[in-house]
Structure 1
Amino acid sequence: MRHLLSLADLDQGTVRYLVDRAVRFAEPRQRGLPLADRVVGIYFRRSSTRTRSAFQAGALRLGASTVFYGPDDLQVNTGETWGDTIRVMSGYLDALVLRTNDSMGELREIADASGIPVVNALTRDEHPTQAIGDLATLREHFGELSGRRILYVGEGNSSAAALAMAVAAHPGLELTLVTPEGFGLPPHILDKLEKLDGADRIEERHNIRRLPRDMDAVYATRWQTMGVSHDAQDWLAAFDGFKVTRAMLSQVARGSGEEPVFLHDLPAMRGQDVDDDVLDGATSLAWRQAYHKMTSAMAVLEWSVSGIA
Structure 2
Amino acid sequence: MARNSTLTARLGYIDTQATFVQAALLAAHGAGARAGGFRVSDVRFYFLLFTNWVEHDVTRPSQDIDLTQVRRTLERLVRGGHAEASTSAPVKGLPRGRRYVLTGEGLCSLAEGLAGRERAPLEEALFVVCFAASYRDAVLSRVEGRARALSPAVRRRVERALDPLRLVKEAQRTSAAVLADLEERVEAGLRYEEQSRKAMARAEPVADVVRALEAAGSYQLHRVRPLGEVLLALPEDLRQFELTEGMGLRSRLLFAPLAERARAEHAVLARLEARLTPGKAPG
Normalising by structure 1, report the TM-score.
0.25
Normalising by structure 2, report the TM-score.
0.26
Q: Which has the higher helix share?
A: 2
Higher relative contact order (CA 8 A, sep 6+): 1
Q: Which has the higher strand share?
A: 1
Bigger Rg, structure 1 or 2:
2
